[in-house]
Chain A
């Protein structure tokens, strides 16, 4: 089946620390991969995406590379800020029989302290 496994945390970092959130997936075919972010009190927002192998998505200093050989899409940021405190979700897009849906990981709560 289709599934996403990601670090669940919670994780607390100091400002300017390096961040990696691991995400691996199981899927049939070639899904698109996404990172969504949920800031406190807000809705889900797309952070970045990649649609094919070796694509790199980037936004707001965050990066993730679609690695087909390791079925991974790890999220990285070189220097986190307090404003990056949020819950991060890795997701893949499943297209099957005329339908489409996102399959999400369980989310990881990140807190960044000044």
Chain B
């Protein structure tokens, strides 16, 4: 079946612009996660959704970052006023049976802020 998909696959933007990253989880997966992978910080957790609610936003690095999930499916991660340090690969994952269930990852969105 279809896996987790993310779009765009690559995004180049100028410092100060806003960007939106999209994640389509595996159908039926109630849990959705965003992570960030960068050279300096490795893989970092950003936010967790159970259904449409986000009980844990603790990983969002600043108030420029926000995320929403609608209809228990698609999620959008928005970064406002992008900075060069936001350059990274943003990964989305979904899980059928949290907690402790397997998280299935999408291919990621590579963001470059110039």
Contact = CB atoms under 8 A, between A and B. Distances in A.
A101 B48 contact: yes
B55 A99 contact: yes
Nearest to A93: B100
Interface in B14-47: 31, 33, 35, 42-43, 45
B104 interface: yes
A43 B91 contact: yes
Give the interface size class of chain B: 20 to 34
B1 interface: no
Interface stretch (A12-20, A45-53, A68-76, A78-86): A45-53
Contacts of B55: 97-99
Contact of B42 (A34, A42, A43, A107): A107
Contact of A99 (B43, B48, B95, B102): B48
Given A44-B105, A100-B98, A107 B43 contact: yes
Interface in A2-44: 31-32, 34, 36, 42-44
Interface in A97-114: 97-107
A95 B43 contact: no
A103 B91 CA distance: 14
5 contacts: A32-B100, A45-B105, A100-B98, A102-B35, A107-B43
Interface of B: 31, 33, 35, 42-43, 45, 48, 50, 55-56, 58-59, 91, 93, 95, 98-100, 102-108
Interface of A: 31-32, 34, 36, 42-46, 49, 51, 89, 91, 93, 95, 97-107
